[in-house]
Amino acid sequence: MHFEKHRIVKILFWMALVSSYLLAVLPQENVPELTPFNDKGNHFLAFFVLTLLLLHAYRVKYLTAFVLMILYGILIEVSQLFAINRHGELLDVLADTIGVVIGILLYWLIERFYLRDSGRFIDQVRSGD
């Protein structure tokens, strides 16, 4: 059962990653409004969720997750320089960074305070059993 849940989280991570990239490079007029947030709010939300999924699916270290997600944010902004009716913004990378940091902090808090009472569970999660 644990294996299936872990696999589902990996699938969700990759679906979210690919979807976020496609939404980022589509011409602006073709991007559906999926949230009530503005552009920076969408960046924050996307990178917050992606970071949580990455940490849970692949059990990477926090610094690794931070670097990978920031590089992904930069990739999106560079890609937008070549997309129709899109342009890369440094403020978008800042919104991404805030989402990543808050995602890492939330994940750390959940691990530290919610899951610590079942230490055996944490050991199983970290070892991938």
Q: Mean pLDDT for each consecutive 10-residue tract of the chain (129 residues)?
A: 80 96 83 71 95 95 98 96 88 96 96 68 52
pLDDT for position 115 = 65
Q: What domain count does the chain have? A: 1
- Which tokens hold the place of 45? 């939300």
**Phi then psi for 93, rounded to 5 degrees?**
-65, -35
The pLDDT value given to residue 5: 81
* pLDDT confidence of residue 35: 63
Range of the domain at 18: 2-127
Q: Quote the pLDDT of residue 84.
A: 85
If one counts every other C-beta atom within 10 angstroms of the C-beta of residue 52, the result is 22
